[in-house]
Structures are given as structure tokens and as C-alpha cells.
Structure 1
Amino acid sequence: MTLPLRPPLTSSPAGRPPGRGGARLAVALLLAALLCLLAAAPAGAAPPQPTMGLAELRAALASGPLDGYFLTTMKGTTPERLSATVDSIVDYPWGSLILFHSDDPAVSAVGGIAAGMSGSPLYVDDDGTAKLVGAVSYGDWFTLQGLGLATPIDYMAAIEERYAPPVGLLAPPPAPKPGACRLARPVDTGAATVREVVLAPSAAAAAGIDAAPGTTVMAPLGIIEIGGLRPQGDAFRRLAARLEQATGMVVKAGGGGGLWDGPPAPDLEPGSPGAILFSLGKVWVGAAGTVTYVNGDRAMLFGHPFDWLGPVDAALTGGNVDGVWADAMTPYKLISPRDVKGAVVQDRYWGVLAELGREPDFYPMTTTVSLVDEGREVSDLTYVSGWFSAQPLFADLPAFIAAEVIVDAADAGAFPGSAESTATVRVSDASGEYTVVRENLHDGGWDVTWGPADDLARILLTLADDPDGVLDPHIDGIDLEVALTAARRSARIAAVELPAGLYWGDNPVRVTYYRYGSRDLESLDATLTIPAGTPLQGVLSVAPAAWGGGGCCSCCCEGEETGPPRTLAEVVESLNALPKDSDLLLTFSPGGAEGGGGEERSGDSCEEAEPGVTVTVPTGLVFRNAVSQATAELRLSLHPRRVPYGGLTLAEGCVAGSEDVGVTLYRQDAGSDALVQVGRAVAVADPLAGCATFSLPIAGLKRNATVVAMVDATATRLPGTATRPLTVSAWVRLAGDR
């Protein structure tokens, strides 16, 4: 999907990105900083302004601290010059950081170096010339005198040199490693003397370090803000937990809108607020911080990664600082995105590289919510990064977007009731274009709004799952339609019945249930087809189809993943075949005694196990339980099993249990599907035998046949069936017979 761009380096008006006017909520994942540049590398594609590399800076610091400043935006879009003093260089075996402090009143007023200042260019005065030495990157909780660490500009220039066309020859610095470093000489900050600096991998880790006097603990100046999602809502909690796990950052509620329809932000310059976004619309997701420098049609930001994703494709936007949240513990900027300026193409350890004027690959996502009880409709259009959707960790981002749109339309943090939804995902690869369509019914006694979003998440996570490395799906568009109502559409299963017994062929099955809000017993009928030769004793179960099932034993499933990798067409086909939440799954699982020889089917091996027989039954309700019932266990024997033409056999049987029960006997002649009743008996409980026994003679046998015994249902058992083959000797007329 093409997003119209504003001219990246001009302030003239231009066509704005497509979208709707009015207020817009946002999910702003405001990463102010993560990690810094931690090892030396010679400058390559240098920033256009004068710079001072590490070696030159080290020599200059030999005479003492250097006065300077850094550029950052405290309000609106205009960078400000805040005074700073570069104190020393913190050397590690694998690299160096720049230790500085700022006693500027603006810094003191908010509680210290704030998250969101990461990327702010740091300058020192060199005989009247301001030279760029690095970008703000690390800070400490409760730090006095505005103490912080900066990423050397050498490393950021190396990123541009290495990854921006044409490819340069510089090797990237080694990956940063948390640890402690004792300073070559102590640094007096005015409030304390720092002798050692400890780098922690995250703010949470830093909080757990008990620092000795003279030691300061520095952590990435990282903050994630989620704007537009209510902090008490389920969507906020889920997304916050995901982000905390992925980044180790503290997550806070924020504000702002992601599909800007106002005037364009000024051209990006050193100190400007900016954001990298993976979605644009009601919900926007990405990282916001500060521009370090602009070099022609390229810009370097942050001095740290978003999430160290490597090559990326995201939108680069201008930003507006709504204010700075003053906090003695963790002050942070509130940055809202503005118009699209280009595309972010690299997310590396030491910074983010963007190409100005380049169009990112985004696809449209439309969410339409109908409030049935109110007779109104809400619709939203958001654009989502196709690259981001292909990443397994973040593939379900559109589900969070959909959840917020649904909750916002309902205007309730929890909406009990039911929802009908249709999720349509258009996807393509080199082989063609495909469409996933998922229609479903959801019901919830507490909240039903997440049901449609979960459907969408399942589709997208499945498309992004590529364990064999052969899929290359591209999401072309998403449409989600949801109809919400307070009416409940759930039910509880009471029982499953076999009104006509159980035999090969079509068997009527009845499921009785109680609908939500009613004491009346209702029923639905289905047909279960049992293939000829299937054992007729076992367990009949009914359960919501979405729970899974199908009677597959462990050994039957062995080798399931040994086939060739699935194509995108096959993945789409499997998604379109998923059962609905309102479907029921009827399953008959054969097992137990059968016949008259006393054999037991153990099912201990794949050769012996019988596959289950299943059928999916569409309904208009969401059932919340499952019911299983075993058939009666019956042993049947014939004496004799081979009879003369017109002869007689004695059918004897034993029905498990301690109560009398009726048994009906049938004959099915060879070559016929008809069952002919030949008698009825009562199996009488026999305490000595441990079962109910019966015997019944069957006379007038003239053809080979199968004798079928069907046991009546009891209070605890479904009807059970046993069969035995019977051979009838041919009638032979001898010569001379009259």
C-alpha cells in the first residue's frame, strides 16, 4: 500500500496520508532509548556539521572537562540548546562511552536527563567551534546534576557508512555488554563524586543493583508509552506485557495520534523529535525519540535500536513534544507523531537509519463495528507495516488494533454478550493471491470484545509461522466486521443420546442442552456415519469443535511433520477449514470388548488402535462444556458358529454391569444391508459372573449372516452393539433324492 509522503526536506504543504479527521486514539510505543554505541570505529559517512571523534575528544579531556551543550526539543517541534559538560570517557575492553552532566535549568526542572532525549546530539566547544561528539543514550534513576552517558558519534557514522548505499568497508563495533568500569579519574558532579560506572541491560535490572558510594548505575534511557489504550483495559495489559518481555523497558500510558491530518511538521534537523512507526491510524506503534543528524536524504536517530531488528521497513514521521513528564525517578517526554517523512531501513545496536522521501510498504486495515442494540456503526482505517506483520513476535499487531477499535466502539472496558465476526485477510506470494475468510460467533459472560481480535491474531500468527523457511507471505489487506450485542448466545450440553442404537452406516444422534437464560431442555439432531467393520463399542463424545479432538491417539499422529513443507495455498486452505466457535464436534472412539472370543482391543500400538469417527455439527450457539458417554460393553458368542442349512444356533452374551437390561438380536444376511429382528431377550444380572447374561436360540438359518446384538441404553451407558459372523452350510441334494 502506498502512503503519500510530505516532502521530507521542505515545509511546503503536500497531500496528507489517507485517513479520517477528528480525534484519534493511539498506541504509542515510545522507546526513548535502548542500547548505545559501545566500541570504537573510524568515522565513515560523516555528519555534515563538524565532529570530534573519540581519539580527539580523549586528548581534549586530558586538560579537564569540556563545556558544551546538547540539542533537544522540550515543547513543540523546535530544538533547544541545553548546556552540558563533558566530564570523561568511560573505557571498557570492548568500547567507550562519554560521561557528561547537565545543570541546565530545563533539565533540573524535569528531574534529570529524560527518556526521549536519546539521540539528542551532544556538542563540545573546540576553540569557538561547536563539534558533535555523540548522542545522549544512557541515564540513571534518581540521578543528581543531570548525569548521563552519550554514544560516540563515530559509531553512528559507521552505521551510515556500512548500511547506506553504496556499502562502505567499515566493520561494525562489537555488541555492547553490560558491566562495571572504574573511571581513570573520579568525576565530581557537584552532589557526589563518581568513581565507578555500572551499565545495566535494562531499567528493571538497574533497580535491583545495590550501588556502593561513588558508584552510579546507568541503564538505557528507554521508555515505552502506549497511548490510546486505557491503562485499566485488557488490550493495554496484554500489549504492555509483550513489550516488557521483548525490550525490558518500563511501559507507561501516553497519548497522541498516529495518522496525522494537520499541518506538516518542520523539516527534520538535529534535535528534532521523530518517530519510527509500524502502524498509522487509531493505533500507532513504534519508537519516538530525537534526530541526531541529517545527511542529505538520510537521517540518523536515537543512538540506540528500537528492538535490534536489523533491516526493517517502517514509517519515519516528524514529532511533536506535548510536554515532559517531570519525575525524580524517570522523567520522560510525551512525543506525538506527525506527518510521514520517509522510511526507516535499519534498526541497529547503535542507532536507527532512515531514508528521507522513501515510501514504506504499508497495507490498509479496516475495522467496522456494528452496535446491534444501539443501531449505530463505527469504522476505522489504519495502515500497518507489511514488514512488521511478517515478524512472528509482532505479527498479531493488527489484533491489538482491532481490539481497541471494538472496545472504543462499545465504550466499555468489558462488554458481556455475543458477537458475530468476519475476518478477511488478503495475502500473496510469488505463486498468487489468496484470501482467508474466518466467520465466527463469540459469546462471553464477562467480555466478548477480544473474541474477534483473537481470530485475527490466530490467522496472522499462522501466516507468519514458517519453521521450514519456504513461505514468503505478504499481507495485502485486512477487513474485520464485527456485530456486537448484549444478547447471550451460549448453552450447556446436558447429554448425548443414540435414539436408534449404534450400527454401521448412518446413526441418528441427539444432543440435549440448556440455552443460556432458560430452564427448558432443548435438543439438536445430527447424523454420525460409522464405516462398516468399525468396532461398535467405545465412547461417544460431544464438545465444542474449537477445543480440538477427532480421536487421534499419540501413535496415530507420529510422522505428522515428516511431509514436505506446506505452501501458502495449503496454509490458507487450512485456515479456511478451521471450525467455528459455534460448531460442535461429535466423536465416536472405538474401544473395549467386542465379539465373543474374549479378545480386548488394547490400542497400545498403531496397528491395533482404531481411528475415531467424527462429524462437525454447525449450531447457532457457543457451547461451554463437553459430554462423553460410553456404550454398553457386551460380549457375544454363537454356539455353533457353523450350522447346517435351515439349522439353529444359540446366541449367548454377557453385558457388563449389575442390572438387568434388554437386548435385541438381529440377523444381517450376506449381501444385504437390512437388519432382520430375530428375537429379544433380557440380560439378567448374575453376581457370580459379574455381568448380566442372556441366551436366545436363532432358528431357520439359510444364508451366511452376521448376528447383531444391541443392548438398550441404561442410566449410565449408551446402547452398545456386538457382532459375530455365522456360517451356514450349503444345502446339497444327492442324486436319487426325490
Structure 2
Amino acid sequence: MVRMVAVAMLLGALVVPASGWAQPSPRAGLPPILALSEIKPGMRGVGRTVIKGQQVEQFDIEVIGTLRGGGGVLPVKHLVLFRVSGPVVDRSGGTAAGMSGSPLYINGKLIGALSAGYLFQPDKRDLALATPIEEMLPVLDLPGGSPQSAWPRTFVADRPFIVGDRRIERVVIAENPAQARQIEAALPGVGAFLPATFTVTASGLSPRAFRILQSALGLREPLLPLFQDGGDPTAFRPAPITGGSSVGVLQAHGDLSFGGICTVTLRVGDRLLICGHPWDNLGEVEYVLTTSDIITVVRTLERPFKEGNLGQMIGKIDQDRGPAIRGVVGRMPRLLAVRITVVDHDTGKRVEKGTQVVRRPDLAKIFATAMALTAIDRSRDALLGGGTATVTISLRGRGLPRVLTRRNIFYNSRDIALASLLELPDALNFLLYNDFVQVDPLDVTIEIGLTTKRQTAALVDAQVERREVTPGQTLRVRLNLRPFQEDAVNSRVIDIAVPQNFPRGPAVLVIGSAGPEVPVEFSLQERVTQFLLREPAPSPVENLDDAIRLFEDFGKNTDILIQLVPFGLPSDGTEFVKFDVFAGRIVRTDWVIQGEVQIPILVR
């Protein structure tokens, strides 16, 4: 997922016919609206935004023209091209990230919301685009589950305009600054604009948890990491929410906070139109809506951005559409609670973290994993280092027969913190992508116990009574284990029944850990990120009860998996879970099992 609120997402979701640009029918509480057909070059007006604290201030605008996009099978869409000026713009350094959604007025009538800016101006960034209010208003009345439609990326100016020494006839909405530069260099007469994106802020994470979050989400820019603890929102007295007010939009809320700042275009009753562009363009959603207090506008070489504090939750975002996102004041979102407890048994230090995240499967498991890694990092004096971790994951959701719990033990000589999280993405997949029932996820509890002590046992060797068996017979195996730094070897005798339908011919008895093998060609951080991003695999079993048993009891690092495999077939894969044609047993132990033994067997 690429977070950059990009060009293609700049516009969004609702079909507006090419004809009939008349002013919409009056809605209770709506301000006067100036129709797009009435907007002419040279018209002047004002915009409203916050660049300090919560005070809404005005800046000047002048219309340059309108842009027409789409054509063919695409619905016709429009943008308004304008320049900004005035003392507020001088203080902000031009259009800044976080100004998206700023309402624009001509003669006291609302025309739309600032939604994109032009970066390639040598002295100032005063050229901007606006989403017409007529495109935004349908979002205000959307019912749940309304479909989305595509917006164009290329727009034709109603008349050419000049920027510096360039004559611009077409405008392309680019996804990022690098793409914008390529477009500007390669296509004469084309101007590349960027959405006036909000600054994405992540707080409450350790530095490497932040890096995993950044990599898994595909975050490029803008991004503001805050490494202090999250928790209670910043205390300030919130001002009434009106057009031009700054608000916060969060996808994680609590000890981990993840979201951004946008500007309100319009308030009608308890409903808000915000941003003038989408967040992720996902349609019906449930995000957190908060108050916001702007500290300052940070001026950078590439683009300025608003920096501010997020306050108390005041409602939810329930629509994430192309022309705007919709907020509802006073209605709280349903979120997934994630609770993490980490205990360092060597020092006695205990760390507890909690956050509420959006009930969106791909994001929920990323946020939960980042929060868990942060809790582990905060519980230890050294970030890196080996040891043993006992991890218990409990899942609760409507649709499941009970609270499901998986317990496993991990050992790693380099980085036990990351190694202990290798199963978390798949565990969350069981809750969020269940193959058998519709699960309404309620909460996830993760408990991790850490120690530097090594709790492993090496599989020294294994012997069989005979190397030849026939289907229906029993194969007796003696296992020899040596716990780490112990002289005594633990021996156990296990009988394996060879099924009647087992293929005759050469086979291999494979003995090793039941836990998943971690490839050494990837770092643990890369591996955790890969697990977060990969598509959930279909369940290898046939019903929910078997899936629960598989989740809670199979594939543990402390189990020894014994398999008799026909020669030429791999000794791993989901086909071995059922142990139908393939003979097998699982042996429980108290150690993380290391090593593997293979013994040739002939089935006559």
C-alpha cells in the first residue's frame, strides 16, 4: 500500500454528468454555492485555513481558469486553477501539506476546496488546484456501501496559462515529486501538480518499529516520525469546528498513533467535508476524527507542511472518497483493540502497551506488529541480542466459538525481539481473513516473556528398528535430544503407523522441528515485513474446528515433527498437515528444537 495521497487519488468517486452543472438543490445548513459554470478567469476571492493554533485565517485567491478531465468512458470531471497570495501565504511559504480541504469563496459563495499544488516555481508556490464543491457535495449524503468510480489524471485547461517561461495547456496529477519531475522534463506544455497531501505522523514507536511500519505501508512522503511515547492526546481547549478548521484523521489511536492533519471544507450539522481529496480512496471506512492544534508551518526546499498536535476523539471518518472524506461529529468508530504485555524475566521489567486500530485487515496486522516490537524494544536495555521468548497470542471475535490462544517459544542468537514476532502476522490473518466464518474482530492480546537464557535442544540423532516396512505396519523410532549445555541425552521411543494406502517404494523419514524454517538469505526485519505483506494462504483444512486446532496446536518450535515421505516429494507443505497418505507424528517437548535427521526407508 502506498500511502502517498497521490494524484490519481486526488479526485474521486462520484459520477457527475457533463451537462447540468447548475447549482445543486438547497440543503439545510449549506452556505451559498457558486456553480462551476459561473467561475471565470480573473475572479478573486478568499480561502480559509489554520496555520497557527486553531484560529482560522484568510488568504487571497485569483482564478486562472478551469480544467476539464476525462472523456471517453470516464466521467467528465473538473478542477479550478487559481493563485494564492496575501500575508497568510507569505507566512506559510505557499500551499502547504495539511492545507488540503481549505474552503475557497468568491463573493461569499463556496466554490470548492484546495486539493493540489504546483512545486516547480522558482520563488514561490502560489499555483494551486481546487476540487469544485459540486463534486464534493454528493459525499455528504452518501449511504453506506456506495460504489466508487475512477477519476481522470489528465486535465485540459480551458485556455493556456503561463508558469515562468512555460506555456501550460494540460495538467497531469502526479503521484510523487519524482514522477512530477519526469513529466515536466519529458512533456512540453504539460504541468505536473501534486495533491496538497497531509503530513502523516507516526508516534509511540521505537525507531526500528517505525522503519518496519514505513516499509510495510510503502510510505514515501511526507512522513513525520515522533519517537516519544504515544498515549493521551495533547491537552488544549478545542475551538468549534467550522469551514477552515484543522482536524486530525487517525488510523491508530492510543500508545501508537498514526494519522494526519487536514482542513475542513464544510460543516453541515454533524457532518463534515474534509480534505478535497481521499486518504486511501477506500469508500466506506471507520477512522478516528480528532481535534487539532497547529504549531507552525514548516518551510522546506520541496514543500512546506503543517505540524501540529492531535487532540481528543470527537467522531469518525466514515467515507474515504475521491473528492473528499466525510467526518461525522459525535459518532465514534468501531476499532480493533490491541493489548501487548512484555516481561523481561532477567530484570523483572514489565511494559504494557495498548492501541486501537482500524478494522482493516492489512493495516491492523501492520500496526499490531509495530506496537509489539516497540513494547519489546522498550522492555530491554539493548535492542539487539539473542535469547528465548515465550509468546502467547489470544484472539477474540464474534463468529469464533471462544477466545483462541496460541502459545509458542522462539530462540534466536541475534535478535530475539524480531524473531518472536514471526508468527504474529499469520495469527492475525486467522482473525482478519478467516476462510470459514465471517469474524467480527474485537481484540488481540499479545503476551511476551523474554530471557537471555537459551532454551534449545539439539536433535543428536535418531534410529529406526528396521529400514523396511509394509503398509499397515508400525515403524519404531528412537529420538535422542541434548538440551543446550547439558551432558545428559534425552531419549524417547515413538511408534509411527504406516497407512494402508501409503505408496510403495523408497521413502524418507524426516525428523526435525515442527516450526517454520526461516530462510537465512533475508534479515529478520525483511522477513517480518514480507510476512506482513504476503497474501494469506488458503487454509489446508476443511472446517473451522480443524482450523482452530491447526492454529492453536500445530507448527510449534518446541514440537518434533516426524514424517515418512515418499521419495521425490518435498518434506514440507500443507499436504502433510492431514497425515493421510503420509505417515507422521508430533512429539511435544519443552525446548526449541534444532537440527534435522533424514533416514531412508523402503516401503514394500
TM-score range, shorter chain: 0.7 to 0.9
* 1:546–1:579 CA contact under 8 A, matched in 2: yes
Q: Is 1:98 aligned with 2:60?
A: no
Q: Is 1:439 aligned with 2:407?
A: yes
Q: Is 1:525 aligned with 2:519?
A: no
Q: Indicate the residue corresponding to 2:153 in structure 1.
A: 178
Structure 1 alignment gaps of length 5 or more: 1-28, 549-559, 593-608, 634-721, 724-738
Structure 1, 355-364 or 486-495: larger mean CA deviation? 486-495
**How many angstroms does 1:134 deviate by?**
1.0
One-letter code aligned to 2:211: R
| SS of equivalent to 2:403 | strand
**How many angstroms does 1:474 deviate by?**
1.2
**How many angstroms does 1:426 deviate by?**
1.0
What is the CA deviation profile of residues 368-410 of structure 1, one whole-angstrom value per residue up to 9, with x for unaligned ones? 111112111111222233x33xx35645532222222222333
* Number of residue equivalences: 551
What is the CA deviation profile of residues 437-462 of structure 1, one whole-angstrom value per residue up to 9, with x for unaligned ones? 01111122222223444433212212
Query: Equivalents in 2 of 1:383, 1:394: separation in Å?
Result: 9
| SS of equivalent to 1:159 | helix
What is the CA deviation profile of residues 333-352 of structure 1, one whole-angstrom value per residue up to 9, with x for unaligned ones? 22432111112211111111
Distance 1:255 1:56, change over 3 A: farther
Query: Equivalents in 2 of 1:160, 1:231: separation in Å?
Result: 38
Distance 1:293 1:587, change over 3 A: same
Bigger relative contact order, structure 1 or 2 (CA pairs below 8 A, ≥6 apart): 2
Q: Indicate the residue corresponding to 1:584 in structure 2.
A: 560
**How many angstroms does 1:111 deviate by?**
4.3
One-letter code aligned to 1:134: G
Query: Equivalents in 1 of 2:181, 2:486: separation in Å?
Result: 57
**How many angstroms does 1:182 deviate by?**
4.3
Distance 1:507 1:530, change over 3 A: same
Query: Equivalents in 1 of 2:62, 2:115: separation in Å?
Result: 15
> In structure 1, which of residues 120, 137, 141 is the aligned counterpart of residue 119 of structure 2?
141
* 1:273–1:335 CA contact under 8 A, matched in 2: no
> In structure 2, which of residues 235, 245, 256 is the aligned counterpart of residue 262 of structure 1?
235
Q: Indicate the residue corresponding to 2:476 in structure 1.
A: 507
* 2:480–2:491 CA contact under 8 A, matched in 1: yes
Aligned positions of 1:118-517 closer than 5 A: 118-124=100-106, 126=107, 130-143=108-121, 144-163=124-143, 175-187=150-162, 194-211=168-185, 215-222=190-197, 225-228=200-203, 232-233=207-208, 235-244=209-218, 251-254=223-226, 257=230, 259-260=232-233, 262-263=235-236, 265-385=238-358, 387-388=359-360, 391-392=361-362, 394-410=364-380, 412-429=382-399, 433-465=401-433, 471-498=437-464, 504-505=473-474, 507-512=476-481, 515=484
| SS of equivalent to 1:88 | strand
One-letter code aligned to 2:126: G
Q: Is 1:54 aligned with 2:36?
A: yes
Distance 1:405 1:323, change over 3 A: farther
Query: Equivalents in 2 of 1:478, 1:111: separation in Å?
Result: 44
| SS of equivalent to 1:576 | helix
Distance 1:162 1:589, change over 3 A: closer
Distance 1:319 1:221, change over 3 A: same
Identity of aligned residues (%): 24
One-letter code aligned to 1:206: A
**How many angstroms does 1:563 deviate by?**
11
Q: Indicate the residue corresponding to 2:510 in structure 1.
A: 541
Query: Equivalents in 1 of 2:148, 2:342: separation in Å?
Result: 50
What is the CA deviation profile of residues 111-134 of structure 1, one whole-angstrom value per residue up to 9, with x for unaligned ones? 43121111111222x2xxx22211
| SS of equivalent to 2:423 | helix
What is the CA deviation profile of residues 563-601 of structure 1, one whole-angstrom value per residue up to 9, with x for unaligned ones? 99744x554343223332222211223559xxxxxxxxx
One-letter code aligned to 2:507: G
Distance 1:99 1:408, change over 3 A: farther
Distance 1:579 1:458, change over 3 A: same
Query: Equivalents in 2 of 1:250, 1:131: separation in Å?
Result: 32
What is the CA deviation profile of residues 351-375 of structure 1, one whole-angstrom value per residue up to 9, with x for unaligned ones? 1112211122134322111111211
Distance 1:488 1:30, change over 3 A: farther
What is the CA deviation profile of residues 470-526 of structure 1, one whole-angstrom value per residue up to 9, with x for unaligned ones? 6321122222111122233345544333368776446242234573xx596844434
Query: Equivalents in 2 of 1:417, 1:102: separation in Å?
Result: 58
Distance 1:624 1:229, change over 3 A: farther
Distance 1:301 1:575, change over 3 A: same
Query: Equivalents in 2 of 1:324, 1:261: separation in Å?
Result: 18
What is the CA deviation profile of residues 642-687 of structure 1, one whole-angstrom value per residue up to 9, with x for unaligned ones? xxxxxxxxxxxxxxxxxxxxxxxxxxxxxxxxxxxxxxxxxxxxxx
Structure 1, 154-163 or 106-115: larger mean CA deviation? 106-115
* 1:31–1:287 CA contact under 8 A, matched in 2: no
> In structure 1, which of residues 575, 578, 598 is the aligned counterpart of residue 551 of structure 2?
575
Q: Indicate the residue corresponding to 1:19 in structure 2.
A: none
> In structure 2, which of residues 28, 36, 42 is the aligned counterpart of residue 65 of structure 1?
42
* 1:427–1:474 CA contact under 8 A, matched in 2: yes
TM-score, length basis structure 1: 0.67
* 1:258–1:279 CA contact under 8 A, matched in 2: no
One-letter code aligned to 1:36: L
Query: Equivalents in 2 of 1:521, 1:140: separation in Å?
Result: 73
Query: Equivalents in 2 of 1:31, 1:337: separation in Å?
Result: 20
Q: Indicate the residue corresponding to 1:116 in structure 2.
A: 98
Query: Equivalents in 1 of 2:329, 2:171: separation in Å?
Result: 37
Q: Indicate the residue corresponding to 2:11 in structure 1.
A: 36
**How many angstroms does 1:79 deviate by?**
2.2
Query: Equivalents in 1 of 2:157, 2:6: separation in Å?
Result: 27
Aligned positions of 1:684-699 closer than 5 A: none
Distance 1:161 1:365, change over 3 A: closer
* 1:392–1:465 CA contact under 8 A, matched in 2: no
Query: Equivalents in 2 of 1:278, 1:572: separation in Å?
Result: 29
One-letter code aligned to 1:447: D
Query: Equivalents in 2 of 1:95, 1:481: separation in Å?
Result: 51
Query: Equivalents in 2 of 1:173, 1:572: separation in Å?
Result: 36
Distance 1:145 1:361, change over 3 A: closer
**How many angstroms does 1:202 deviate by?**
4.3
Q: Indicate the residue corresponding to 1:618 in structure 2.
A: 588
Query: Equivalents in 2 of 1:106, 1:458: separation in Å?
Result: 50
| SS of equivalent to 2:548 | helix
Aligned positions of 1:658-677 closer than 5 A: none
Distance 1:561 1:484, change over 3 A: closer
One-letter code aligned to 2:479: R
Query: Equivalents in 2 of 1:138, 1:471: separation in Å?
Result: 43
| SS of equivalent to 1:242 | helix
**How many angstroms does 1:108 deviate by?**
4.4
The Cα RMSD (Å) is 3.7
